[in-house]
Amino acid sequence: MVVENDAAPSTLDGWDSLPPFPTNIPVASVNNISHARLLNGDAEELKNLLSSARTTGFVRIDFTDTELGRRFLDGADKMFKLAAKTFDLPAEVKLNDNMLNHGDALLGYKGLGASVVDKDGTRDNNEQYWIGCGDIAGEGHSRAIYNDVLNAHMHEMKSFQDTGKEMTDQLLMVFAAVLGISADSPDYLPKLHSHSQNSGSHVRLLKCPSRPSAKAANLQPHTDWGTLTVLFNALGGLQLYLPQSLLGPDQEAGWYYVKPERGTALVNLGDAMVSWSDGEFKSNIHRVVAPPGEQAQWARYSLAYFTRPNHDVPMKPLGRKITAANSEEQYPTFKEWAMRRALAGRADTFKKGDWEKGQGTEGKLAVEARA
Ligand SMILES: O=C(O)CCC(=O)C(=O)O
């Protein structure tokens, strides 16, 4: 019998009690960036950020060297404790918050097995709570229902998401400058992301129960639908698909683990960044499998701040990427993009062909990863 260790990690001081991340597995090379140096406009760090955005779409930011970063880590620690409490609630309480009951809000609880991980419709092995930034800020009227545990901690989530917003706005300013979008333009990237009822931004709590011998992924291969994701995890299991073009001659295209590092979070780009940059920036395909080695006996908690465009923002080239040809084209709004991807991944209505309908921008990187 597998004994699952169900404890949520502490992002601050709990790392030493975790089993080690193995040293003999294929690991993706992800650039490490210092938050302090990035904020100071250090040329080398900006170069690292942009080269990651143009290749793997993933970067690791060390948050220990700024006051904002340390607040973010502290907030993440509180979110992990909240995740443990809320996932511990009885199934019927959680299912009362089920996002499928909330129309097109795409917020609330996603139960174990409620989405698919492959084109055959195999069910996932993860639970998730998506808590809307508008709802947390008290400005949302999303119709999502949240249980009493979450409602009692809205103030903590507010401070976590405010830190996330400040941090991601700092990055969006850099990307806006690269795309030639000035601060007085209506397309200035920070302006396209609000914490109101019309935003897709949310705080996401995730838990994959331990299932060491399973072959299927716990969470499906996907590109993120929105703009930027800030991801905290302490156990391995996250994998990136790296195409041959990003690897050396002695490596093969395929799935590579991302090693969790203390004091850091991963930041990855989503489909909106690909659309706005007309493919210059990449939204990488990633998935979650059982944590490697001894870590597999543990339930895997992770946490994300998802910054997503306001619902009515079009997924079209912006700034210096606008051309005579593409300005005539029709593009989906973010809301249409998200609904298409969400509906195609639902397990309860899944039918042949849905998997293909749920594609994001992976064709710009390595389409074979999701085939
Ligand atoms: O849990 C993780 O490490 C990744 C989560 C993820 O990819 C997602 O929620 O979209």
So where are the chain's domains?
A: 4-369
Is the shortest distance between the CB of 204 and ligand 1 below 6 Å?
A: yes
CATH number of 4-369: 2.60.120.330
Confidence (pTM): 0.95
**Is the separation of the CB atoms in 29 and 90 below 8 Å?**
no
Q: Ligand 1 mean position to 178 CA, how many Å? A: 27
Helix (H, G, I), strand (E, B) or coil at 5: strand
What are the average pLDDT values for consecutive 10-residue runs of the chain, which has 371 residues?
Answer: 60 77 96 97 97 96 97 95 95 92 86 95 96 89 88 97 97 98 98 85 96 91 97 96 92 96 96 96 96 93 96 96 93 95 91 90 60 43
The Cβ-side half-sphere exposure at 369, using a 13 Å CA radius, reads: 29
Is the shortest distance between the CB of 288 and ligand 1 below 6 Å?
A: yes
The atom number, within ligand 1, closest to the CA of 206 reads 1
Q: pLDDT digit string (tens) for 123-172?
A: 999 999 999 999 999 887 787 889 999 999 999 999 999 999 999 999 99
Which of 87, 106, 128, 231 should be mutated for ligand 1, with most atoms under 8 A from CB?
231
Q: pLDDT digit string (tens) for 76-128?
A: 999 999 999 999 999 999 999 999 887 778 899 999 999 999 999 999 999 99
Exposure class string for 135-157: b at 16+ Cβ within 10 A, else e: bbbebbebebbbbebbeebeeeb
Q: Ligand 1 mean position to 345 CA, how many Å? A: 15
The burial class, CB within 10 Å (0-12 / 13-18 / 19+), for 54 is middle
Which of 106, 203, 220, 229 should be mutated for ligand 1, with most atoms under 8 A from CB?
229
Best CA proximity match to 289, nearest among 264, 266, 257, 261: 257
Please state the φ and ψ torsions of residue 79, each to the nearest 5 degrees.
Answer: -65, -35
Q: Ligand 1 mean position to 323 CA, how many Å? A: 34
Q: Ligand 1 mean position to 128 CA, how many Å? A: 10
